Amino acid sequence: MTTISVILVGCLSVVNLVLTLALAKKITQMSHGNSHGNSHGNSSGSSGGILTGVSIPENKLPDGALMPRFQAVSISDGPVSGNDLTGDRAVVGFFSTSCGPCLEQAPDFVKAVAGYPGGRDQVLAVVKGSGAVGDKLVELLEPVARVVVEPAGAGEGSVAEAFGIVRWPSYVDIDAESRITNRLVSGDLTIAPAAL
């Protein structure tokens, strides 16, 4: 009886190993497919994923929430707060130096907001982290946005924390009444210009 049990446990272990390796291979293939532009998102911010069938976390503030209060200092333009983004539509982009898609999608963000009504005064970009990637993000974003750099791990008091950002990159559209009207999912960045 003991020999049969050992053989049975051994067979189950082999089957488990084969299934685990197959799953790891499938996840790797899905991940590589995403990094080559096969991303899918939705512009409504509802649950869904960059990878088909994979959920991405929701940011903490829901559509329709009032823009949170925040204060920060931008790289070239000095102090910036929520009051600076009121009265007209605005866009806030959140990027992290530890997020591969952030650097990949920064040029798309720049194209999407170039010529935005109100110019760079109505576009804010928040970069979390520093180093070479942070410098590159700042270089890409500064021509079209006021850029705030926050240290990695910045929590309470940070712009990212105020907006409840948990996924990177994230793009937040703010309407003229200071309400978050659209949580743009990374991979599906389309920013329509404000109505004139």
Q: What is the pLDDT of residues 50-96, one digit of tens each?
A: 344 556 678 889 889 999 999 999 999 999 999 999 888 999 999 99
Q: Check residue 8 and give its pLDDT.
A: 73
Q: Check residue 194 and give its pLDDT.
A: 44
Task: Determine, yes or no, domain membership for 24.
Answer: no
Task: Determine, yes or no, domain membership for 41.
Answer: no
Task: Determine, yes or no, domain membership for 123.
Answer: yes
Task: Determine, yes or no, domain membership for 11.
Answer: no
Total residue count of the chain as it appears in this document:
196
**Tokens representing residue 129 in the block:** 């982290």
**How many domains does the chain divide into?**
1
Task: Provide the edge-to-edge strand list for the sheet that holds 180-185.
Answer: 78-81, 71-74, 146-150, 123-128, 90-96, 170-174, 180-185
Strand partners, 66: 179
CATH of the domain at 113: 3.40.30.10
Residue 131's contacts (CB-CB under 8 Å, 6 or more residues apart) are: 97
Task: Determine, yes or no, domain membership for 65.
Answer: no
Strand locations in the chain (E): 71-74, 78-81, 90-96, 123-128, 146-150, 170-174, 180-185
Confidence class for position 119, pLDDT limits 50, 70, 90: very high
With pLDDT > 90 as the criterion, what percentage of the chain qualifies?
Answer: 49
Whether cis (ω within 30° of 0) applies to the bond prior to 169 is: yes
Please state, in angstroms and as integers, the Cα–Cα distance from residue 156 to each residue in 7, 30, 90, 121, 124, following that order: 56, 35, 23, 25, 19
Summarize pLDDT for 28-54 with one digit per residue, the tens. Answer: 555 444 433 333 333 333 333 334 455
Task: Determine, yes or no, domain membership for 37.
Answer: no
Task: Determine, yes or no, domain membership for 16.
Answer: no
Does residue 19 have a pLDDT over 70? Answer: no
- The 8-class DSSP code of residue 89 comes to -
Domain of 109?
71-185
Task: Determine, yes or no, domain membership for 106.
Answer: yes
Q: How many CB atoms neighbour CB 23 within 10 A? A: 10
Mean pLDDT of 113-120: 90
Summarize pLDDT for 173-183 with one digit per residue, the tens. Answer: 999 999 997 66
